[in-house]
Amino acid sequence: MSPHASNAPVSPASHTAQAPSLALTSLGAMAAGMGLSLLSAGAMAQSSQSAPSAQRVESTATTPATRQEEALPTVTITDKANRPDAKTTYQATTTTIGKGKQALRDIPQSITVVTEKLITDRNLDTMKDVLRQTAGITFQAAEGGEEDIRLRGFSLQTTGDIFLDGVRDPAIYDRDTFNLDRLELLRGSASMLFGRGSTGGAVNQVSKAPYLGSSSELNVTAGNHEYKRVTGDFNIQTAEDAALRITGMRTEANNNGAGSSIDKYGVAASYRWGIGKKVEHQVSVFHITNDNGINNGLPWIKPRSTDSQGAQRINSNLDPANYYGMASDYNRTEGTAFTYMNTVKLGGGSELKTVVRKGDFKRDLRASTIRLASATTGLNNFSDATAFSRGTQVKNQNMDLIQAQTDYSGKHQLLGLKHEITTGIDFSRENRTVMTAPNAANGGSTINKPNTTAGNPNDGAWVDEASRILRRGNQFSAKGVGTYVQDLVHIAPMWKVLGGLRYDYFNGDYTTFNANAANQPSANYKQSINKISKRAGVLFQPNALDSFHFSYGTSFNTSGDTYSYNANSANTAPESSENIELGAKLDSEDGRVTTRLALFRATKLNERNTDPNNAATRLLLSGKRHAAGFDMDVIGQITDKWDIYASYTWIPQARVDEAASTVTSGGSRKGDRPGLTPRHSGTVWNTYKFMPQWRAGVGVNFRSKQAPADINNPANGIYNAPGFATLDLMAEYAFNKVYTVKANVTNVANKVYADQVYRGFYVPGAGRLVQVTLSAKF
């Protein structure tokens, strides 16, 4: 019986009864998903053998009261059992971004989930590629190569808002998708869940985990720009309750349509035992190495060479594949993480999960800052002879961290009401060392880079980067402790109320060093912070299809979120933000399509500004800005043959409400629209299986015009990146149950556009990419 044949409200009792049933029926969904993924019959047989074991475990974990509830008729089992897993659908019904596994409909905040199927169908190699498929996301062109992300017009701090399996992930390595099961994007304030962070939200990368059953997948991709990529995913069941999963990646490309080469490899291995038992363990290791080129962008250009100020534009005369950096430029990063996870099922749907991680990360970047050699050059006299200068950007940094967190989630009956309580504590220790390259005057070396011309990209010019002398530039160390409690109370059959509080203690220590031969400490700054974060929400769920919510949350970000202090920032309290959201999650009658809707208002209440009366010792928390708008997702399977993923954000109102009394070239005036906040942004992607062996896909990514962050001042130039839309195509043919070939064309029209923007430069988006993938599943 379809769950949507009945409009009866979901009672607390029936809702509780779903939990063990869902765990059992998800194994059937896994088997169905493997079949749809064309796994061999042998692999399917091994996977299906795990179902009875899971059934035994679930029955031992239930209480007599729960078993009595399970005997009552329910109307949700068939729907959940027939939903395939994240490998074979765009639709997600649960998330782990909110501490513990939760149904999306029970979270009073907007979450967009990008599943492995969408990542595979669109050939998304990096985390940044995946985020481009979510509306409201823009990118600042970071000089250091890191992902500098904006969501709903506000920063996603790369040091505080990106997570790997719920644990904070540092920003100094380049992230790949080869080991991703899915990516979860939480919109709005998240400090009650994760501690220090920004207004925009949080990103959680979910790693592939071992499961009962044995299967393997191998993918080989080739494309233009000498693109070559191989990925493998191997799951091996080693015992009745244990499995090993190994994933790997190797990628190479020459000037991959975005001005830089690619040379990287990665491997991840996880061993999980006690699967389905009361106590479960998992140990894993992850490593990735990148030795890539680096595109440090192109300078903005004036419409006319005679303009002394005013509008600045992107240069649409240049092919997006052009590269004007040095052949000796590079961006080498490494990331290694060892993780131990322990999950204890306490009965009645309660569990205690502990995660401990040790991570080491490195970045060594040598880039050329490309600028117009003539300051008066405009589009009207731009030609192949126009000269570009090539400056120097060096960033060398090492980071190690230790993190530990324990989270409890449980269902309890208190004072006659059902409570879903989540609480936990986490600890982190972060150390970062940054090396600098002093010039000859400070005991180092001075390397001069030759100019080039617009008509001579990829000229092969080379300098000896190894001759640079590196010394310590600064060191940052921090310790953080946080604890939180959250309660979702079922106050009536259709109503739930959420409340949560979190306390954070953060202690940062920052030391700078002289660039001369002595290389002695020159200054030291310290800061200790105690902060409370809040979260509240109301859920109205009239039936099993629809969930409506209203929520409020706060967040804070410290001066040390960028791993540095100065004399002013070390004496400045954290910035504070708040988010208000009214939204809904609506399922179609057959349960195969989910629509998410939200009206939101995000406000940074006290932004840091220079104190004109005491500029030498502190900053003022006098700034204020807000953004308000609407966003939505439509994700699922319209028919058995037609899959859709659509995400859209509209921000009609964004404004700097209060600004510094004196606006510099790096600031926005009161009344300005903040940069990196396009009015419209989003993506639409469809695939259709029009024959048993053939499937085709088409999609569009779009952004309306935007300016760099914190600058749109006529006195210093108005920078505008025009709006754009790019078209992507996909065609797939299945030879049999093992082999599949898929072709992707990204940016079909070779559109020239600014993908990342900054005050001094922009990074063009990738030009046309043509890639063909052969997959084998066995």
The Cα–Cα gap between 467 and 470 comes to 9
Conformation bin of residue 78: beta by default, left when phi > 0, alpha when psi is -120 to 50: alpha
**pLDDT value, residue 671:** 86
Instruction: Specify whether the CB–CB gap between 407 and 438 falls below 8 A.
Output: no
Contacts of 86 (CB under 8 A, 6+ apart): 92, 115, 116, 117, 181, 182
Would you tell me the crossing angle of helices 12-36 and 50-61 to the nearest 10 degrees?
Answer: 170
Write the DSSP assignment of 426-438 as a string of letters.
Answer: EEEEEEEEEEE--
Q: Indicate the DSSP class of residue 176.
A: B
**pLDDT value, residue 734:** 97
**Average pLDDT for runs of 10 along the chain of length 778:** 38 36 33 33 36 35 39 39 64 89 94 97 96 94 76 81 92 92 94 88 95 97 96 98 98 77 96 97 98 89 80 86 90 96 93 97 94 85 94 93 96 94 96 92 89 93 93 95 97 97 97 83 95 97 97 92 87 93 96 97 87 63 92 96 98 90 61 91 97 97 88 64 96 97 97 89 92 97
Residue 736 lies in a domain: yes
Residue 431 lies in a domain: yes
Residue type, 242: A
The Cα–Cα gap between 245 and 207 comes to 11
Q: What does DSSP say about strands 162-164 and 201-207: parallel, antiparallel, or unpaired?
A: parallel
The Cα–Cα gap between 174 and 331 comes to 9
Tokens of 129: 């590629």
Residue type, 654: A
Considering only CA atoms, which of 164, 170, 268 is closest in space to residue 206? Answer: 164
Residue type, 690: F
Residue 752 lies in a domain: yes
Residue 157 lies in a domain: no
Residue 753 lies in a domain: yes
DSSP E strand boundaries for 493-559: 495-513, 521-540, 546-557
User: How many domains in the chain?
Assistant: 1
The Cα–Cα gap between 725 and 717 comes to 25
Residue 106 lies in a domain: no
Residue type, 262: I
Tokens of 31: 């088997």
For the sheet containing 761-764, what is the strand order?
154-156, 148-151, 137-140, 754-757, 761-764, 298-299
Tokens of 152: 């709903």
Would you tell me the crossing angle of helices 41-48 and 50-61 to the nearest 10 degrees?
Answer: 20
List residues bridging with 398 in a β-sheet: 362, 433
Instruction: Specify whether the CB–CB gap between 502 and 533 falls below 8 A.
Output: yes
| Beta-carbon count within 10 A of 160 CB | 27
Q: Where are the alpha helices (DSSP H) in 361-506?
A: none
Residues in the chain, overall count: 778
Supply the range of the domain harboring residue 269: 206-777
**pLDDT value, residue 503:** 98
CATH number for 720: 2.40.170.20
The Cα–Cα gap between 119 and 125 comes to 8
Question: pTM of the prediction?
Answer: 0.87
Residue 508 lies in a domain: yes
Q: Match 């990331």 to its residue by tokens.
A: 335
List residues bridging with 135 in a β-sheet: none
The Cα–Cα gap between 673 and 710 comes to 9
At residue 470, φ and ψ (nearest 5 deg) are: -105, 135
The Cα–Cα gap between 399 and 404 comes to 17
At residue 648, φ and ψ (nearest 5 deg) are: -145, 140
**pLDDT value, residue 87:** 79
Contacts of 479 (CB under 8 A, 6+ apart): 427, 428, 429, 430, 506, 507
At residue 28, φ and ψ (nearest 5 deg) are: -65, -40
At residue 105, φ and ψ (nearest 5 deg) are: -70, -15
**Which CA distances in Å does 82 have to 30, 304, 448?**
9, 61, 64
Tokens of 258: 């975005």
The Cα–Cα gap between 158 and 147 comes to 7
**pLDDT value, residue 2:** 38
Residue 76 lies in a domain: no
